[in-house]
Amino acid sequence: MKTTLGAVVLLAASSAASAQSSVTMYGRVDGGIEYLNHIANGNGGSSTRWSAEGGDWGTSMFGLKGTEDLGGGSAAIFNLETAVQIMNGTTGGGRLWSRRAYVGLKNDTWGQLQAGRNLFIDSDGVWAFDPFVQQAVSSASLVRGRNWQQTSNNVEYHSPVWNGLDVQGQYSFGNQPGNFNAGAEGEFGRSDGIMLSYHSPLFDLRGIYDELRDSSGRFSNIFTASREYFVGGNLRVQKFKIQAAYTHYSAPDSPPGISDTADHYWLGATYQATPKWAVTAAGFYIHVGEGGGDASHDPASHAMLYALGATYNLSARTFLYGTVAYVDNSKNGTFSVFATPRDSSTPTSPMAGQSQTGAYVGMMHVF
């Protein structure tokens, strides 16, 4: 017996209504043109690249989220969300739901408890204190994407807000027998974190401590598997929003002689000139501690990234953007203006000690 799609939709809508449920489809689509120079070509020289890119201002994504009222101030919730690369139509990492896939319960008094896949706690917490809101050029650049990650097997808690103060905790199981800290091949090992935030009309403060382990359960790389200590603040003064932060990374299980600490600082401001126009400027600095490096690990070095960007709102859901950035590397530094791992299959890093300039323009639509 065949059932029409229309009948299925009507049945689902009827069931949702009877249970006082709601399901929302949402997402955003981002695409534009990108320029990048001084990309090390592996032959002792460097090259320039022009490309059509999606997700430079923010990851394109598609999602579904829903709630069911359980009474007494309680509700069942779910969220399914995947990244989308609009230039070739693929989804993030080959997963059906690459960013979020969780179910949970929330209550007005005790908070929210959920389980499933989600953004790692620093990815969920750092963007609000980044002047460039984790664009392709942002706080993620000089830490090679350390604060862009997602983890599986999460159990997560969000407290209610008490006089502007709230707490979030996350614990990600490795799910492997015989090694409690290990994870499946190609996945992170046991990882966890806690985030404390305070919000007021004038300013926001946030502190984060987290642990992101590699698949072997070790802190083996400051920018891929490490401990993180973060503190950040926002200050709102008339049309300005000023943002500053400091992060310390530690990877005590790095190979002998390899750099195992890094310190990251930034300061920036956004000027909302009109309801349509906004301009942002920021500086980001990284200092990698003493030690050597290899294909996957950065050696002792430092770099300064300067970024300038603007947005123009065409409507409440659509805006145009443009960002330009310049990174100045020390003698051993190979940091890119973009957040690319050292051993990436599509590298953007310059040669050691070389500067780099990048820029992109595009459009974002939110639905």
- Of 224, 81, 63, 221, the C-alpha closest to 140 is 224
One DSSP character per residue, 72-83 reads: TTEEEEEEEEEE
* Among 13-17, 140-144, 302-306, 358-362, the least confident range: 13-17
> In the beta sheet, which residues pair with residue 76?
68, 105
Checking if the pLDDT of 345 tops 90, the result is no
Overall fold of domain 23-366: Porin (2.40.160)
pLDDT at 310: 98
Checking if the pLDDT of 2 tops 80, the result is no
175 contacts 155 by C-beta, under 8 angstroms: no
pTM passes above 0.85: yes
Contacts of 347 (CB under 8 A, 6+ apart): 39, 40, 340
Checking if the pLDDT of 10 tops 60, the result is no
Checking if the pLDDT of 74 tops 60, the result is yes
Q: What is the pLDDT of residues 14-39, one digit of tens each?
A: 444 445 899 999 999 999 999 999 99
Domain ranges of the chain: 23-366
Residue that is written with structure tokens 């984060």 in the block? 208
> What integer is the mean pLDDT of 216-231?
98
Q: What is the pLDDT of residues 92-114, one digit of tens each?
A: 888 999 999 999 999 999 999 99
pLDDT at 1: 39
Structure tokens at 34: 């990108």
Checking if the pLDDT of 5 tops 60, the result is no
